[in-house]
Amino acid sequence: MKKSRYWLGLSLSVFMLGLSACSSNPSLSPSSPGTDTGKAGETSTPQQTGTNAANSPKGGKATIVFSTFWPDEELKKAKKSYEAAHPNITIELQDVVTDDAHLEAELQKYVTATNTAMLSGKGPDMLALDMLPSEKYVGQHLLADLSGMLKKDPGFQKGDYYNNILESSQTNGGLFGMPLSFFLNVFIGDETVIKQTGVPIDDKNWTWEKYADTLKQLSQKGPNKVSAGSAPGAAASEGKEMMQMLLGEMVKENYSHLVNESSRTASFDSAAFTDMMGQIKKMYDDGVFASPRGGSYFNSKNINSAWDYLVTMKESGKDSRLYAKPRAEGTTAGGYFYPYKVIGINEKSPVKQEAWEFLQYLMSGDIQPAPERAGFPINKKVYEKQVQQLLASKTVKTYEEGPLHGQSIPVDPAQIQLLNGYLSDAVHPVAFQPTKIEEIVQKESQAFFSGQKPAKDVAKLIQNKVMTYLNE
């Protein structure tokens, strides 16, 4: 699988199209289809909402239509076991069978067909939102608020779940997509080399400004010392693209502060956003951005499981450790995460309660994925069982395609303990795939970073285009 890296004084691995940039881990790939929904190159239109006991011609039975882009073997197993325990429920899974040659076209067809179905009130009862413009659905009130269902459910035990993830996934107090799992977006650095510089690292509290200052100190005191005026920087031909990509990354990380999905408003014309652009330009001018030809003290990584964490740390070097990513000035302290396998329920579904009960089942401890499966489970007990499996095994096998070529490495309990803290501290959600808004920001910011227009003019243009998009 492809990994896109943009070196910005750090290596920013940016998710491109869906899962294609996650990892070389085969468990991240779309599952091999068990039941075809169409031929490669053909997309079936998402069907309308299902039937409940009141409108079913058979009476007493309910059908839940569940639409996903990727075929998912775990979901098929969950359907089978749930239907066996609930004979009055039929779960109709819809997905798309495709290949690399047709992937982009198929995804576009699927998104267009799903949008049309949802807007007409005939969309599926449940849908995976990872590849869909969920911000549009929230803004047009097409998704059910799951937070209300959680509060009314006496069987929901708050302590069994990562509530920092659930609460941070809300939009204006409403939870419109349930993340069944999540990835951590962190830095990995060489702890020994960093300590040798004597530069203090306060990653739990650093902002991008403090991070830039830390990088300058490291570049002056580290193994490859340079003067303050000649800090390693990107070539001019690389700088503009790097600044645009970093701005897009920062917009993703601060999306909820810039976009209100419910009211369909944005604040890209605010001082906070123009300051963000100015800060990135200053970082470039100060030589903070490392060239792709040079090294970096911190690399941005996406950790998708405890198993992946152990392997990634080993691949990164014997003295590697986790560090939190910087945050924008004025935002809450805490780490970043990618919501994964985010499930929404159609607000107009006639089987909303039945859909909610199946979603609860998907969240429950009744489903126990292997430790190698991508995504930290939203259910803490499921995660704890995965960790116990890893500790009991004492060793794990690395990626066959990775630099360690499938060799076994020991499981370090101390590393797992450190990871647990970062899981509990993650409070800033990052969109899984680039959104239309991110594309607008990256494209239009070019005029500022190339010196053609002032920040305020560019910010006003971005604001107008984003508002047009949100209210289409």
Together in a domain, 295 and 154: no
131 lies in a domain? yes
- pLDDT per position as a tens digit, 296-337: 688 888 999 999 999 999 998 888 989 999 887 778 889 999
**pLDDT band with cut points at 50, 70 and 90 for residue 383:** very high
Question: Residues 66, 207: one domain?
Answer: no
Check residue 269 and give its pLDDT.
Answer: 93
Residue 239 lies in a domain: yes
Comparison of pLDDT for 350 and 252, the residue scoring more: 350
Supply the mean pLDDT for the chain.
81
The confidence score (pLDDT) of residue 366 equals 85
Over residues 412-439, the pLDDT tens digits come to 999 999 999 999 999 999 876 667 888 8
Residues 330 and 345 in one domain: no
Kindly tell me the sign of the dihedral angle through the C-alpha atoms of 418, 331, 3, 8: negative
With 60 as the cut, is the pLDDT of residue 62 above it? yes
Q: Kindly state whether residues 164 and 210 are assigned to the same domain.
A: no
Is 211 inside a domain boundary?
A: yes
Same domain, 220 and 148: no
CB 378 within 8 A of CB 165: yes
HSE-up (13 A, CA, CB side) for residue 7: 15
- What CA–CA distance (Å, rounded) separates 251 from 246? 9
Residues 203 and 244 in one domain: yes
> Angle at which helices 236-253 and 271-285 pack, to 10 degrees?
150
Question: How many Cα atoms sit within 13 Å of 122 on the Cβ side?
Answer: 8
Which among 241, 217, 230 has a CA at the least distance from the CA of 292?
A: 241
User: Would residue 395 count as lying in a domain?
Assistant: no
How many folded domains does the chain comprise?
2
User: What CATH number should be reported for the domain holding residue 109?
Assistant: 3.40.190.10
User: Residue 56: pLDDT above 90?
Assistant: no
| Structural domain span for residue 140 | 26-181+341-363
The pLDDT value recorded for residue 141 is 92
Q: Same domain, yes or no, for 151 and 276? A: no
Residue 429 near residue 253 (C-beta atoms within 8 A): no
Do residues 114 and 231 both lie within one domain? Answer: no
- The answer to whether position 125 is within a domain reads yes
Look at residue 283 and tell me if it is in a domain.
Answer: yes
Q: What is the pLDDT of residue 45?
A: 52
pLDDT tens track for 214-266: 888 887 886 644 433 333 333 344 677 878 888 888 888 788 788 887 788 89
Q: What percent of the chain has pLDDT over 70?
A: 81
Most confident of 26-30, 40-44, 412-416: 412-416
Same domain as 351, residue 256: no
pLDDT value at residue 49: 65
Residue 31 lies in a domain: yes
Q: Are residues 212 and 154 in the same domain?
A: no
Give the 3-state DSSP-derived string for 58-93, with helices as H, strands as E and coil as C: CCCCEEEEEECCCCCHHHHHHHHHHHHHCCCEEEEE
pLDDT class of 392 with cuts at 50, 70, 90: very high
Residue 389 placed within a domain: no
214 and 271 share a domain? yes
Residues 74, 369: contact at Cβ < 8 Å? yes
More confident residue, 43 or 32: 43
Same domain, 110 and 212: no
